[in-house]
Chain A
Amino acid sequence: MWFYEKKLQYPVRVSTCNPTLAKYLIEQYGGADGELAAALRYMNQRYTIPDPVVGLLNDIATEELSHLEMIATMVYKLTKDATPQQMRDAGLGDHYANHDSALFYHNAAGVPFTASYIQAKGDPIADLYEDIAAEEKARATYQWIINMSDDPDLNDGLRFLREREIVHSQRFREAVEIIIEERGKKTIF
């Protein structure tokens, strides 16, 4: 069962009025290595993963939804006050023609979200390695967006999100060790 808490996980601030950044941020909203993909991937895998690791998948999935909300907040703040002309100048004309300044689940290139971005093989090793890879890909994506952004407050938020990917990757690596290790099992000679 899910409950919602009416606060962001991290206090997102955007200090520069630069709607162009929204075009890149949306990659982490509806893109292949973004927060929605992550949340759905882990949420779905958790049914068929060995018991010791279900909690981790459940909890990281939940946290990813809060990150989705953070990205949405960044995009919303950058586009809510943009005129049609400003949207066009920012390279968001394609998006505006379809959505005005409503958010939508597509990537920076406009490709809509698809379940093909995620996988659940039912094999815990395959699933967990996919999860580690997903976290590393998300980390890299945040780096590329930070590289393109001059907004110091926005970048602090992006650095937070990048650091979360590092921690999640760490936990998934531990999960692999948990399910491959014979911890606690008695060795009979």
Chain B
Amino acid sequence: MSEQKREPFTNMKTYTPFHSRFDPCPPIGKKYYSTPPNLYLGFQPPNLEQFSPKEALKRGTLWKALYEYYENPYEGKRR
């Protein structure tokens, strides 16, 4: 499933909610939130690299800089 990740960094950030010793359930641990490229790009500059139309259709955008693959970060947390 991970073979699609090309970036060296991830667009997913984490935080850990405080867990009280009186909480009834085991702690969830890390909570994840997505910070996609549109937060960092600013006004799109001209001549950004494009995908081919076929690739673009699969990925949902023509622009490589705006593409972000999403997978369930809680995948391993089945109980």
B-binding residues in A (CB < 8 A): 10, 139-140, 142-143, 146-147, 156, 159-164, 166-167, 169-170, 173-174, 177
Residue of B nearest to A164 (CB): B60
CA distance A62 to B34 in the complex (A): 27
Residue of B nearest to A152 (CB): B1
Known: A10-B60, A146-B71, A167-B66. 7 other contacts (CB 8 A): A159-B70, A160-B58, A163-B67, A166-B37, A167-B63, A170-B38, A170-B41
CB <8 Å contact, B61 and A159: no
CA distance A24 to B43 in the complex (A): 34
Show 17 A/B contacts (Cβ-Cβ < 8 Å), sorted by A. Answer: A10-B57, A139-B34, A142-B70, A143-B34, A146-B70, A147-B74, A159-B60, A159-B69, A160-B60, A161-B60, A163-B61, A166-B61, A166-B66, A167-B61, A167-B63, A173-B38, A174-B44
Residue of B nearest to A173 (CB): B38
Q: For this complex, into which size category does the number of interface residues on chain B fall? A: 20 to 34
